[in-house]
Amino acid sequence: MAASRSRAQGASSSSSPCGYHVFLSFRGEDTRKRFADYLYKALVNAGFRTFRDEDHAERGEPIGSELKKAIQRSRSSVIVFSKDYASSTWCLDELVMILNRRRISSHFVLPVFYDVDPTHVRKQTGSFAEAFDGYHKRIEEEKDEKKKKEWMKKVKEWTEALQKVAELGGKVLINEADGALKQSEDLLSI
């Protein structure tokens, strides 16, 4: 697996027994240079010790132990759903871990629907349907029964996780030119 660089900044860890106040989850290709960067900076500037993954490889590799630990050591997660979020198996696996953490502890989860309709997330329609069509096609084409069952299990987990997280409510934001900074600051007021 390629080395993963991560960044955690903000208030000292002594103010957070869990290690991080916020685990920031997002699809890098969609939002890293725009909204996610502004949100990260706003969280850090507000004093929140924030973890975000800087450089993970998405080429079918499993989530690294560093990310798993960061999710476990975070009090809350902000998940930024964007148009191509569901096309990343990495993001979907991360989502499942975050919701498992929420299920067994008091982990707070804030979904942010960035230029995507929450209904598309909940029902896997729109761009989310396109991604899941690809996963279903992969299942159909898989010759190895064991791998086919593994994929079926994963797709079921992802579907259930997307349904659950969309039911939490959250914040809907429209991608506006030069609006990412203001939107990230507005999000902190929640």
* Measured distance CA(188)–CA(132) in Å, rounded: 32
* Measured distance CA(154)–CA(31) in Å, rounded: 25
Q: Which residue in the list 54, 61, 66, 94 is annotated as catalytic?
A: 94
User: Is residue 54 among the annotated active site residues?
Assistant: no
CATH architecture, domain 6-119+164-178: 3-Layer(aba) Sandwich (3.40)
From first to last of its 190 residues, what are the pLDDT tens digits of the chain?
333 334 444 443 334 456 999 999 999 887 767 788 889 999 999 999 999 986 444 444 556 778 889 999 999 999 999 999 999 999 999 999 999 999 999 899 999 999 899 999 999 999 999 999 999 999 999 999 999 999 999 999 999 999 999 999 899 988 654 455 555 555 566 5
Tokens for 111? 């979904």
Q: What is the pLDDT of residue 6?
A: 44
Closest CA to 80 of 47, 33, 44, 125: 33
Domain ranges of the chain: 6-119+164-178
Vertex 34: Cα angle to 32 and 37 (nearest 5): 60
Chain position carrying tokens 């593994």: 150
* Measured distance CA(39)–CA(187) in Å, rounded: 8
